[in-house]
Amino acid sequence: MIRLQTNLKTTIYKSGDVVYREGDKGDSMFIVDEEHGGVLDVKHGEVTVHKYIKGETFGESSLLMGRPRS
């Protein structure tokens, strides 16, 4: 279903960029590009707690539930 969307916006992040922070308003979700994407480290402070790779999505729960990012 997500791949059928036509209102998607491409944003390119560089190493060290922050996609969102805990507590931010959840008004969008994200997909790591399947062709050109890399690895996205999810950190709590300086500790990596998860990694997203090509084709994975994130941020959908805050978007769907209307809650701040966790």
Q: In this structure, is residue 15 part of a structural domain?
A: yes
Residue 63 in contact with residue 57, Cβ under 8 Å?
A: no
Q: In this structure, is residue 54 part of a structural domain?
A: yes
What's the pLDDT tens digit per position in 15-63?
888 998 889 998 888 889 888 888 889 988 889 999 999 989 998 888 8
Whether pTM exceeds 0.85: no
- The DSSP call for residue 62 is H
Q: In this structure, is residue 16 part of a structural domain?
A: yes
Number of domains in the chain: 1
- The DSSP call for residue 3 is G
Task: Go through the chain and tell me how many residues it has.
Answer: 70
Residue 41 in contact with residue 18, Cβ under 8 Å?
A: no
| Helix/strand/coil for 20 | coil
Q: Which residue range(s) make up the domain with 46?
A: 2-65
Q: In this structure, is residue 70 part of a structural domain?
A: no
